[in-house]
Amino acid sequence: MKTLIRGGRIVTATDDYHADLLIEDGRIALIGHSLTVEADQVIDAQGLVVLPGGIDVHTHFDMPFGGTTSADDFASGTKAAAFGGTTTIIDFAIQSRGHSLQEGFETWLAKAEGKASIDYGFHMIVSEARPEILDEMQRMVDQGVTSFKMFTAYPGVFMVDDGGIFRALQRAADIGAMIAMHAENGSVIDVLVEQALARGEVAPKYHALTRPPQLEGEATHRVIVLAELTKAPLYIVHLSAADALDAVIAARDRGLDVYAETCPQYLFLSYDNYEEPGFDGAKYVMSPPLRPREHQERLWQGLKTDDLQVVATDHCPFCMKDQKVLGRDNFAKIPNGAPGVETRMSLIYDGGVAAGRLSLNRFVEITATMPAKLFGLFPQKGTIAVGSDADLILFDPSGETRWSSVTHHMRVDYNPYEGRVTRGAIRQVLSRGEVIVDGTQFRGREGRGQYLKRHSFVRP
């Protein structure tokens, strides 16, 4: 099967030019001016920007958490991702306490197989650092799971003590793996939560008030010190606060292999959302929580100056109706997480490129190229080059997109960006050369997504 994309403006992390693009058997075969080749299908991309498909390295599909399960499974979640211009996701498989990494890996493979419509890989959440688990990390790497998430938060569920984190970092350094850290001081947060509840402070906003930014800054600094001692690469997930960014900047200035992602919610939403009427603040209960507005511009600046390398989503949706409501009388029982897999690319284009904060090349870099490089997918994914998978977005910069829970494809009953209009519109999305989104039509298929065996960490 040959597809020719004619006359588009091709933009990668480094290039920006007009050319034709020939796709053969799912890969980019030829790029050139006025190509005279036979093709089964010709797509006219005049006036459109051809971008690498987005890579979202932080999703939680079908994830048991907070007494319920995230509302999107791999079918609905990957379809929503595709509509949002994301053609690859890396989801978090979980090693539950008392179980092995292999069991977690096989459980998540079974969740995805036959359902995912875009390509996918897995990180592995390590919830215990027992010797058998540390020994199993190599087996994961051999199967393409080359990054492991650990937590300094959620005591009793995912939190591992500093000694355990240190051991896992040592092992990661030995086997070429990356440790991704959820950095908040969970033990102190638990004290603040207990004290707030004792005072009768049960509303959603207390979720944020009991998780102050200093506790993210402290934990980020702490895990950076541990990573420095072990010489392991470290990736801070869902960085939300200037306090944590300062720790990352200091580490990177010292030349350490420290990387960090932020998420659109921390760039577009703020503590003010918790003050919405009634129980609506529950929509934004996630960890780390939304921060006071002044943190936003620091994060945009971090993206611009490469102190932050990635925008991912931490997509972890729970419906207001049956799920968030579990914490109506106690903010600590509100399932933590929010939807975002569909809105990421549009929001970052709008707030980044259209608002003049980021170049189009930098937009590609933080949404596709760096995620691919940091997580062992480059150059198969994350760029437009001969030999790379033909994962592409045909993007219309003159269009606009209106966001609503009525029209989005995520299986959740609210949209944190309800009513917002973003500049630019996604016209078509291709995954390995197949048009999977065509305007408002989904032309993909459940189960067509392939498991991606990722390679070991290579410094980008």
Q: Give the residues lining the site for ligand URP (CB under 6 A).
A: 60, 182, 238, 286-287, 314, 316, 336-337
Taking alpha carbons only, the member of 411, 443, 408, 439 closest to residue 426 is: 439
* CB nearer to ligand URP: pick between 282 and 358: 282
Interacting partner of 49 out of Zn ion, ligand URP, none (Cβ under 5 to 8 A depending on kind): none
**Does residue 321 sit in helix, strand or coil?**
coil
Which phi and psi angles does 442 have, rounded to 5°?
A: -95, 120
What is the rounded distance in angstroms from the CA atom of residue 152 to the CA atom of residue 378? 30
User: Shortest Cβ distance from residue 50 to Zn ion (Å)?
Assistant: 30
CB 44 within 8 A of CB 6: yes
Rounded Cα–Cα distance for residues 309 and 172 (Å): 21
User: What is the nearest approach in angstroms of Zn ion to the Cβ of residue 125?
Assistant: 9
**What angle do helix axes 294-304 and 242-253 make, rounded to 10 degrees?**
30
Interface region with Zn ion, contact rule CB under 5 A, candidates 49-57, 277-285, 307-315, 340-348 = 307-315
Judged by CB under 5 A, does residue 72 bind Zn ion?
A: no
CB 44, CB 393: distance < 8 Å: no
Of residues 60 and 454, the one with the C-beta less far from ligand URP: 60
Q: Check residue 314 for interaction with Zn ion (CB under 5 A).
A: yes
How near is the Cβ of 315 to Zn ion at its closest, in Å?
A: 8
Name the residue nearer to ligand URP (CB basis): 267 or 426.
267
Question: From the CB of 284, what's the least distance to ligand URP, in Å?
Answer: 10
Choose among ligand URP, Zn ion, none what residue 337 binds, the Cβ cut-off being 5 to 8 Å by kind: ligand URP
CB of 427 to Zn ion, least distance (A): 30
d(CA 119, CA 383): 15
| Residue 286 interacting entry, from ligand URP, Zn ion, none, C-beta within 5 to 8 Å by type | ligand URP
Q: Following DSSP, what letter does each residue of 21-42 receive, concatenated?
A: EEEETTEEEEEESS-----SEE
Omega before residue 416 within 30° of 0, cis: no
Query: What's the closest the beta carbon of residue 218 comes to ligand URP, in angstroms?
Result: 17
48 binds, among Zn ion, ligand URP, none (CB under 5 to 8 A by kind): none
Handedness of CA 338, 342, 343, 349 (dihedral sign): positive
Of 331 and 349, which has the nearer Cβ to ligand URP? Answer: 331
Q: Which is nearer to Zn ion, 92 or 378 (CB)?
A: 92
Q: Which is nearer to ligand URP, 123 or 454 (CB)?
A: 123
Residue 56 found at the interface with Zn ion (CB under 5 A): no
* Shortest Cβ 63–ligand URP spacing (Å): 7
Q: Which two tokens stand for residue 164?
A: 């355990």
Say if residue 213 is preceded by a cis peptide, omega within 30 of 0: no
| Contact window for Zn ion (CB under 5 A) among 177-185, 404-412, 423-431, 443-451 | 177-185
Cα gap 424→362, rounded to integer Å: 16
β-sheet with 119-126: strand ranges across: 54-59, 86-95, 119-126, 147-151, 178-182, 234-236, 258-262, 310-311
Q: Is 261 in the site for Zn ion (CB under 5 A)?
A: no
Nearer residue to ligand URP within complex by CB, 21 or 179: 179
- Of 66 and 424, the one with the shorter C-beta distance to ligand URP is 66
Residue 72 binds which of Zn ion, ligand URP, none (CB < 5-8 A, kind-dependent): none
Query: Residues 182, 295, 362, 454: which binds Zn ion (CB under 5 A)?
Result: 182
Least distance in angstroms from the C-beta of 126 to Zn ion? 13
Q: Report the 3 state secondary structure along 188-250.
A: HHHHHHHHHHHCCCCCCHHHHHCCCHHHHHHHHHHHHHHHHHHCCCEEECCCCCHHHHHHHHH
The contacts of residue 144 (CB under 8 Å, 6+ apart) are 121, 376, 451, 452, 453, 454, 455
Closest approach of ligand URP to the CB of residue 303, in Å: 19
Residue nearest to ligand URP (CB): 336
* Residue 253 C-beta: closest distance to Zn ion, Å: 25
Torsion of CA 364, 367, 373, 376, to 10 degrees: -140
- Cβ proximity to Zn ion: between 158 and 378 the closer is 158
- The contact set with Zn ion (CB under 5 A) reads 182, 314
